[in-house]
Amino acid sequence: MLYLLPPGVCNLLNPAAIYANNEISLGDVEIYGFDYDYTLAQYSNLLHSMIFNTARDILIEQFKYPEGLGKYDYIPGFAIRGLHYDVQKSLLMKIDAFHYVQLGTAYRGLKPVPDEEVIELYGGTQHIPLYQMSDFYGKGPSLKQFMDIFSLPEMTLLSSVIDYFINHGIEFDQVHLYKDISDAIRDVHVKGVMYKWIEKDMEQYILHGDEIYAVLNRLVNHKKKLFLITNSPFSFVDKGMKHMVGKNWRDLFDMVIVQADKPNFFTDRRKPFRKLDDKGSLQWDKINQLEKGKIYKEGNLFDFLRLTGWRGSKVLYFGDHLYSDLADLMLRHGWRTGAIVPELETEIRIINTEQYMHSLTWQQALTGLLERMQMYQDAESKQVLLEWMKERQEIRSLTKNLFNPQFGSIFRTFHNPTYFSRRLVRFSDIYMASISCLLNYDVNFTFYPRRTPLQHEAPLWMDQLCTGCMKTPFLEEMVHIR
């Protein structure tokens, strides 16, 4: 017998909650580390349009791309984080945890590629072989994974340029085009253009600054040590932190490291630390100790560990980039890690809608019917099964479109976790929409991951028709947080 759960039962997810992949007690954490961009400093989406427009103009003015590209504007909501781009095939697509392309989410330019063509391009399958997928940092021989939030304008620009070339019958070399666009986007960052925009109008671009002060101040009041490791330059970080935290922000931190060159900071022993004076000018003296209140540039994690003694699970580091910020720290050095995933807030609000719950509940019901009734092979039953399969596919597409019409949720394909989700679980102990979520928890709080059934354990659990309806203690109380 099938039981359809009322939508209200599932409306329990809290966008301001912290979610655990691994059990972790904050009481055991003595040292908190932070990235800066999109971790301490959350930026407005207005920044994406500025990055897109500037990189587009660089392509036209410096790389001599067609002036007709100037008619393309940034498309908010076109792309999502975690997508893969096949350079040789000019395909932007979403791939699941098992290396399968989610059909309906492959785009060449701004137009979807038919499922049949995608399958043909990959030799009659949706599967991408492991050797093509990526190395440890999301870069394979022919596939690039876009993992940071700054990559949203890059993906949109890439798709826009390809769209223009296809529509105008212009032949192009896929490798050169990809590199040109990557270089144009990089120039926006490296040449400091983006920093100048933010510095000119921090009220417009920086979000939740007052909450960042509250988080840091509370940690210091509870005798926690704080440090900052960022790839951004000191002058930019200094202005942003003064805006969010106040002119004495450096008093809160035991260590501040700028222009760290992550992820190389975590893997390369060659670059020594350099000290900056209060004005940000480089000093030349050899660094034998890291002093509280001082600013350091470059360096490497091995010297950092040697000079501080901050090792293992007493350190919790927060960042938004799963590869550059978190992977090495968790897997090679045993630090605890927290991933900042701003998209989580929007996705949870969608999950909590009645439309999503109705769609998911009926989708699960149809799946259960198909599984149970597939042994009936008479003509009438086959027709009913075909209708159910068609309806299930329509509902899956509808559910996907609730998150993003082109690519769906960053966390799921139709039913499998995405490749992004797989990395999120692998490289982070906890994840949350913003650092301010820490304000909802006691500094000694222990996060316990929910025990979810492995497939062979499923019969021991209720036959869930709504994937979010695990009977978890205290969940109703969590709704009222913030």
Could you give the residue numbers annotated as active site? 35, 37
Q: Which residues are paired to 144 by β-bridges?
A: 85, 139
Strand runs labelled E in 52-166: 84-86, 91-93, 107-108, 111-112, 143-145
Q: Is 149 helix (H, G, I), strand (E, B) or coil?
A: coil
Q: Is 268 annotated as a binding residue?
A: no
Spatial distance between the Cα atoms of 455 and 383, rounded to a whole number of angstroms: 29
Upstream peptide bond of 417 is cis (omega within 30 degrees of 0): no
Q: Which residues are paired to 34 by β-bridges?
A: 228, 318
Spatial distance between the Cα atoms of 326 and 427, rounded to a whole number of angstroms: 6
The Cα diameter of the chain in Å comes to: 84
DSSP string, 161-226: HHHHHHHTT----HHHHHHHHHHHHHHHHHTTHHHHHHHH-HHHHEE-HHHHHHHHHHHHHTT-EE
Which helix (H) or strand (E) element contains residue 118? helix 115-121
Sequence letter at residue 481? I
Which helix (H) or strand (E) element contains residue 301? helix 301-308
Question: Are 28 and 221 within 8 A, CB to CB?
Answer: no
Q: How many Cβ atoms are within 10 Å of 385's Cβ, its own excluded?
A: 16
Question: Are 438 and 24 within 8 A, CB to CB?
Answer: no
Reading phi first (left if > 0) and then psi (alpha if -120 to 50, else beta), residue 326 is in alpha
For residue 67, give the DSSP letter: G
Characterize the bridge pairing of strands 31-34 and 225-229: parallel
Q: Is 37 annotated as a binding residue?
A: yes
Q: Is 148 annotated as a binding residue?
A: no
Q: How many Cβ atoms are within 10 Å of 424's Cβ, its own excluded?
A: 22
Burial degree of 338 (CB within 10 A; 0-12, 13-18, 19+): buried
Order of strands, sheet of 255-258, starting from the edge strand that comes earlier in the sequence: 19-20, 430-432, 336-340, 315-319, 31-34, 225-229, 255-258, 295-298, 273-276
Spatial distance between the Cα atoms of 325 and 219, rounded to a whole number of angstroms: 21
The binding site for GMP comprises 37
